[in-house]
Structures are given as structure tokens and as C-alpha cells.
């Protein structure tokens, strides 16, 4: 049991070398990702994001971060070889399993294919934005449009929708193995996420629980889902939980440095020499601790480069850094040493993320302005409040101590946690969340939800968002026992923190609680499952699993205190493990062994092979334009544009013939693409170049997904006949 900011030792244990292995392998993924992003962003801004430059710089940056992040690492995890082997086995099995059942989402319908085409473009061109290539169409024309789903027209070029962090990672796979390699990056990242979470569990709960937590995490449906295709949630998870592990290790270094500091004593003799040696080790360990804290802040901040929502997720880190500074100003110099480096690293990482957003994703920020502007306002208020508390810390220390001594305050704080959980559970009976369509995007979302309701046999109301059920999404994917244990653990830890105990839990509990509450209150995503489950991946699911195994450990310790013997405690732990794992495995079983959209890679390769070498592609049908405009640019390497459509969802014949003539005049071959033969047959002989029949995600609104739906994609091509009048 800990009683102060620096009293966090767990005591000696056998198997420390195995524990150090787990400590290292669980932070290396975050450090490597951070190094790659640090090297890749400047190269991308300069238009030099190519293997010859990015690989040596990225590897050097990653190696440098690993060197300083792992130097003077104390024994933070007492563990056995079997425990570490179990974690590594789960991670490897996760990577292999998800690699075998990986998705091939390349046709742009939803975010994964947008990320994939973004990554393919970066791998093959190394620069942004995507040029219009209007010269291939004979120049700009009022009937030509170069934007499409997930790709904005902005400033005379095409700008991808999302932050560049994840596509820069996916591009590595494309360099190593083209599109097939890119599609294997998510399973590798998923395996790395298993290691990171297991390392965090081993640090904060104990290595005995790390294999179980890793297995429950790896089997959870949202983790399977986002580890099989090109999402940004898994890289974000690696950075956020990697940051927690790095900061824990930095604080362990600081404890080591403080314990090595010399104490007053008589001069001379063997004792003086021993103290002199300790004095030499102490400052070096303190410098190492400060470096570790700065790296932790940097890793946290770089989560913004992967997902703009990372800004919300790292707000508690900002507050925690300010608290450390305030503690130092209030007189506890040792405890507050890490505040400034943590804050500095966070500012650098988040600053780079903001720079990437502004310079490379500005239309995306405009699109998100309705939610981003309030978030920025909250961030500004938090910054001001944090600065004020840090500045006034010496004056606030005494009043805050008096508040902390209020009777029953720890119990009240813990009770509030339970009340919040109960409120989310009761929310479906208290609220129906709706959003009347106010924009074009809102109307499209409402139409989509109405269509899913029709298929699910639900009352038709496109304004329904189903956010009131968000707590039940969590229960589906982590199981009711884990949800209850996590709530119990959060309440108990809150009570301990108010009492001044378990200080190492302050930041992880704040990150988990803040992101869980804000995510469940407003997930900000279309509510069909498993699609909406991705919102739970970066923090909610791993955070609740971390709390749940801590709660299970407390139950086991209570049994020890009540006089139960080792056999009974072992049986209790086994039963708890089954209760955590069985519900998760049951829900995942419906879709875990069914790959979705497999066959798209071969279909896209066949489509690209069917296009003439000097083609300029005109897409003349709405759905085909949304799905294939950027795909033709990225995957096929050919200029593509969509033609203005009218009420019939096809363009004017005069526009098509004019554009085809201009393409020929530019020395290229005009090619028309559409979904049906009749939509292009009037211009020339139609050729069926894609006839895809695959499985896609189920779209369930009120139940967890337990199957897949069919998906059809057809593309017809024609080379227009030359108009004799031109």
C-alpha cells in the first residue's frame, strides 16, 4: 500500500530479468511509432516522404527514442518467464490470426478504404496534396470535379480527409509489399497494442494478470475489427497507453534517484565513499527520469497526429503535468520534478499534430468545426485553469489540504463514480438521443440510419442516434462482469486517491474516466455495429480491462485477508478469468472467423489492368464516383475526375462528349466508368471490368453484430467513340 507521491515500490521479486523484458517490449511500439511520425511529418511537408529518405531517418529517430526511453530503466515489473511468454504468445497469436482474417477494404465506402487509398498515395508519391492533373483532361472545366468521398477539393488540389499519422504507418507496408503489405500493417499494429496493454497492466496491477488482460483485450470484437483493416484507433491506443507506461517508468527512475541521494553523515570513511557513489548515480537517474517524462509527453501528444480526437484524450495529461508543477511549487521538489518535461514533451507532440492538421487536413478541420471548436474552447479553459492552479499552488496548498480532510469525502467521491455508471446504465429509460438533419451530411446520415432501421425491422426514424445505448455497447464488448469490476475498481481507486493513496493511478484513472464518460455521452459516429465500436478502442476498452483485472486482484486479496487458502484463491482467480473471457469470446465468435471484403485487392488490380495506359478517367455515375475516383488515382496511378450529375444521377451527354474530345486533344485516352452497362453504352461498347461479390460488416443498431452482409460492386467501362463533328 502506498502513502505518498514517491512511495510506489512493489518490493523485491524473482524473475526481474523477465520483468525487464516485458517492460521493454511494451514501450518499444510506442517509441518506434513516435520516432517514425517525428521523422515522417517534416518529410511529408517537404514532399520527400519516400523510402530513401524516410526509412533511415525514421529508423534513426526510433532508435534514438528507444535509447533514451529505455536507458537506466529500473526493475518496474516483477514477472516470471512464464508470464512474459504468455503475453508474447497472445500478441503473436493475435497478429497471425488477424493477418489470416484481414480485411481488404480498398473501394472507398467508409473510413478504412479512405485510409488505405491515402496510404497508397503516400507510398507511391510521397507528397500532399493530391494534384487535380487537370492537364490530362484538357484543362479545368465546369463539369469536372476532382473531389470524392473522403477526399476534399481544396486550394486547387485534393486533400485527404483524415490526419496523416496512420497513413504514414500504412505506407511502410506498401513499401515492403505493395497493397498486400499495406493490408498486413493493421494486424502487426494490433499485436503491438496487445504488448502495450499487457505492459501497462503488469505495471499497475501485476504481471500475473498481464496474460489474462492481453487475451481478453485481443479477443474483444472491436479490437479484432480495428486490427484487421486500416483504422487509426489502434495506433492511437499504442501511443496513449505507451505514454502511460513510459511515465510510470520515468517515475520509477525518479524514485530510484531519490533513494540513491546521499543522507547527512560524518565525513570520510567507507560511508562517505558510498554516499559519494550514490550522489553520482542520483543526478544521472534524475536526468534519465526527466528525459523519460519528456518522451512520455511527446508520445501522448503525437496521438493528435493520428486522430484529432487525441486532443480530448490527452487533456488529463496536461492537467496532471500542471499538478506536478503545482506540487513542486508547493514545496515537494522531488514529486514535481517531472512536471515541466512532461508538459514540454506534450506541447511538442500536440503542436506537431496541430501543424499536421492545419497544413495537411484543413478541410477536415472545417468539417469537424461543430465539435472541434467546443473542444478547443474546453482545452483553452483547461490550460488557463491549470496555469492558474500552478501559479497559485503555494497559496492553495493549505485550503486544499483542509478540503481533503473533510469527513466522508473519499466515500462520497467513490459513490459518485458508481452513480455515473448507474446513470449511463439507466440512460435508455431517461433519454432518446436524436439529431434532426440540419446539413447535407446530416441528411445523408439520417437516410443511412433509416435504411438500416428498415433492414433491422425497427421503427423508421432517421434522426435517431442510439447514443443512449452506449453503455450497453461497452457491456457487449467487454462483458458485464468486466464492466461491473471496472466500475467497482474505479470507485475504490477514486476513494484511495482522495485519501492520498495509490498516486500512480491518478493519471491512468483520469484518462480512462474522462475519455470513457465523454465517449459514452457523445460517441460522435453513425451508430451501426460493429462500425460504432471503433470509438471504444483507443481508451475505453483497454482502460476498462485494466480496471477490471485490478478489481479482480482486489477481490482475490480480500479473499486472502478473509482467511481463504491458496487453493481457494486460485479457484477464485480462475473463475474470475473465465467470467472476464467467456462473454467477450461469445460476442466475438459471430464474426471473428469471417473476413470481410476479401477479394477487393484482386478486383482492384483487375480493374487497373483493364484501363488503358494513357487513360484519363471520367466517372459518370454517383456511386461509382464516390467509390472509385480516388482509387483510380491512388491504386491505378491514372488521372480521374467525376462529371457533374443531374437528377437522373448521370451527366449530360454534351458534357461527356465535350470532355472526351478535350482529353483526346490533350493526347490521352478518354475512359468512362459507371455502375451499369446502360449508363455508358450510349458512348461506346461497355466492358464489365469489375464484378465483385463479397461479405461486408453487419449493420446492427440495437444488438451486437453476429454475422455479415453481402456486398456487390460492379464497374462498367467504355472508351467513347470519337464524335465525327469534333
Query: Which sign does the torsion angle of CA 331, 337, 338, 344 carry?
Result: positive
Q: Which three cell numbers stand for residue 248?
A: 510510470
The pLDDT of residue 1 is above 50: no
**Residue 642 phi/psi, 5° resolution?**
-105, 155
CB 255 within 8 A of CB 9: yes
The rounded distance, in Å, linking the Cα atoms of 311 and 303 is 8
Regarding beta strands 708-718 and 669-674, do their DSSP bridges make them parallel or antiparallel, or are they unpaired? Answer: antiparallel
The pLDDT of residue 279 is above 80: no
The pLDDT of residue 13 is above 70: no
The pLDDT of residue 334? 73
Q: Is 52 exposed, middle or buried (0-12, 13-18, 19+ CB in 10 A)?
A: exposed
Beta bridge partners of 464: 434
The rounded distance, in Å, linking the Cα atoms of 469 and 20 is 42
Confidence category of residue 262, pLDDT binned at 50, 70, 90: low
- CB-based contacts of 655: which residues, under 8 Å, 6+ apart? 143, 643, 644
The pLDDT of residue 269? 47
Which of 71-75, 262-266, 549-553, 571-575 shows the lowest mean pLDDT across its residues?
262-266
**Residue 551 phi/psi, 5° resolution?**
-60, -40
Mean pLDDT of the chain: 90
**What is the average pLDDT across 501-528?**
95
**Residue 309 phi/psi, 5° resolution?**
-65, -15
The pLDDT of residue 256? 77
The rounded distance, in Å, linking the Cα atoms of 585 and 590 is 9
Tell me, yes or no, if the pTM score tops 0.75. yes
The pLDDT of residue 77? 86
Q: Per-residue pLDDT tens for 218-238?
A: 999 999 999 999 999 999 999
Query: Which sign does the torsion angle of CA 235, 237, 243, 245 carry?
Result: negative
Q: Which residue has the cell 467521491?
A: 413
Nearest CA to 42 among 159, 151, 127, 163? Answer: 127
**What is the average pLDDT across 545-554?**
96
- CB-based contacts of 176: which residues, under 8 Å, 6+ apart? none
The pLDDT of residue 540 is above 50: yes
Amino acid at each position: 500500500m502506498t502513502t505518498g507521491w514517491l512511495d510506489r515500490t512493489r518490493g523485491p521479486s524473482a524473475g526481474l530479468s523477465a520483468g525487464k523484458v516485458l517492460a521493454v517490449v511494451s514501450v518499444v511500439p510506442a517509441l518506434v511509432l513516435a520516432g517514425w511520425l517525428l521523422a515522417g511529418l517534416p518529410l511529408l511537408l517537404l514532399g520527400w516522404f519516400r523510402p530513401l529518405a524516410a526509412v533511415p531517418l525514421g529508423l534513426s529517430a526510433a532508435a534514438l527514442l528507444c535509447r533514451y526511453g529505455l536507458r537506466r530503466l529500473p526493475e518496474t515489473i516483477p514477472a516470471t518467464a512464464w508470464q512474459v511468454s504468455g503475453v508474447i504468445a497472445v500478441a503473436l497469436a493475435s497478429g497471425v490470426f488477424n493477418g489470416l482474417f484481414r480485411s481488404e477494404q480498398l473501394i472507398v465506402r467508409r473510413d478504412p478504404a479512405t485510409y488505405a487509398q491515402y496510404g497508397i498515395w503516400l507510398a507511391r508519391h510521397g507528397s500532399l496534396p493530391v494534384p487535380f492533373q487537370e492537364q490530362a483532361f484538357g484543362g479545368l472545366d465546369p463539369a469536372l470535379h476532382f473531389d470524392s468521398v473522403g477526399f476534399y477539393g481544396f486550394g486547387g488540389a485534393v486533400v485527404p480527409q483524415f490526419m496523416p499519422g496512420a497513413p504514414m504507418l500504412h505506407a511502410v507496408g506498401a513499401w515492403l509489399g505493395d497493397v498486400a503489405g499495406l493490408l498486413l500493417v493493421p494486424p502487426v499494429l494490433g499485436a503491438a497494442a496487445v504488448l502495450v496493454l499487457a505492459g501497462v497492466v503488469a505495471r499497475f496491477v501485476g504481471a500475473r494478470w498481464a496474460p489474462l488482460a492481453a487475451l481478453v483485450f485481443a479477443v474483444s470484437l472491436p479490437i479484432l475489427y480495428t486490427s484487421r483493416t486500416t483504422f487509426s484507433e489502434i495506433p492511437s491506443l499504442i501511443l496513449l497507453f505507451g505514454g502511460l507506461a513510459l511515465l510510470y517508468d520515468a517515475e520509477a527512475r525518479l524514485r530510484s534517484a531519490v533513494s540513491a541521494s546521499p543522507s547527512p553523515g560524518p565525513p570520510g570513511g567507507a560511508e562517505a565513499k558510498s554516499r559519494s557513489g550514490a550522489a553520482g548515480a542520483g543526478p544521472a537517474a534524475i536526468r534519465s527520469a526527466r528525459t523519460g517524462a519528456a518522451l512520455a509527453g511527446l508520445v501522448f501528444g503525437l496521438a493528435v497526429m493520428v486522430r484529432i480526437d487525441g486532443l480530448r484524450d490527452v487533456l488529463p495529461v496536461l492537467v496532471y503535468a500542471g499538478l506536478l508543477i503545482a506540487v513542486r511549487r508547493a514545496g515537494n521538489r522531488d514529486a514535481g520534478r517531472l512536471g515541466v518535461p512532461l508538459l514540454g514533451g506534450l506541447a511538442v507532440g500536440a503542436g506537431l499534430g496541430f501543424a499536421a492538421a492545419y497544413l495537411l487536413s484543413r478541410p477536415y478541420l472545417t468539417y469537424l468545426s461543430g465539435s472541434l471548436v467546443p473542444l478547443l474552447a474546453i482545452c483553452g479553459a483547461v490550460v488557463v485553469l491549470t496555469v492558474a492552479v500552478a501559479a497559485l499552488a503555494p497559496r492553495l496548498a493549505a485550503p486544499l489540504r483542509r478540503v481533503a480532510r473533510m469527513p466522508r469525502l473519499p466515500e462520497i467521491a467513490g459513490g459518485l463514480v458508481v452513480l455515473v455508471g448507474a446513470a449511463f446504465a439507466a440512460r435508455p429509460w431517461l433519454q432518446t438521443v436524436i439529431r434532426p438533419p440540419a446539413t447535407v451530411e446530416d441528411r445523408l446520415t439520417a437516410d443511412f440510419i433509416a435504411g438500416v432501421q428498415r433492414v433491422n425491422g425497427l421503427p423508421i426514424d432517421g434522426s435517431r442516434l442510439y447514443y443512449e445505448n452506449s453503455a450497453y455497447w461497452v457491456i457487449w464488448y467487454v462483458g458485464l462482469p468486466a464492466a461491473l469490476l471496472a466500475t467497482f475498481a474505479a470507485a475504490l481507486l477514486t476513494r484511495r486517491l482522495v485519501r492520498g493513496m495509490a498516486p500512480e493511478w491518478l493519471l491512468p484513472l483520469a484518462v480512462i474516466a474522462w475519455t470513457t464518460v465523454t465517449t459514452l455521452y457523445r460517441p460522435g459516429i453513425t451508430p451501426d455495429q460493429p462500425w460504432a465500436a471503433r470509438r471504444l478502442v483507443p481508451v475505453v476498452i483497454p482502460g476498462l480491462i485494466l480496471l477490471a483485472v485490478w478489481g479482480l486482484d482486489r477481490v482475490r486479496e480480500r479473499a486472502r485477508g478473509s482467511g481463504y487458502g491458496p487453493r481457494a484463491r486460485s479457484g477464485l482467480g480462475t473463475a474470475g478469468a473465465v467470467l472476464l473471457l467467456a462473454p467477450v469470446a461469445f460476442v466475438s465468435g459471430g464474426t471473428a472467423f469471417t473476413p470481410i471484403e476479401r477479394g477487393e485487392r484482386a478486383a482492384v488490380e483487375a480493374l487497373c489492368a483493364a484501363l488503358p495506359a494513357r487513360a484519363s478517367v471520367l466517372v459518370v455515375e454517383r456511386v461509382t464516383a464516390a467509390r472509385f475516383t480516388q482509387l483510380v488515382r491512388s491504386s491505378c496511378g491514372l488521372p480521374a475526375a467525376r462529371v457533374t450529375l443531374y437528377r437522373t444521377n448521370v451527366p449530360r451527354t454534351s458534357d461527356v462528349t465535350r470532355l472526351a474530345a478535350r482529353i483526346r486533344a490533350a493526347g490521352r485516352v478518354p475512359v468512362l466508368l459507371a455502375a451499369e452497362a446502360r449508363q455508358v453504352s450510349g458512348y461506346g461498347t461497355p466492358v464489365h471490368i469489375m464484378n465483385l461479390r463479397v461479405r461486408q460488416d453487419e449493420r446492427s443498431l440495437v444488438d451486437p453484430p453476429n454475422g455479415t452482409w453481402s456486398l456487390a460492386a460492379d464497374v462498367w467501362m467504355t472508351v467513347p467513340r470519337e464524335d465525327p463533328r469534333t
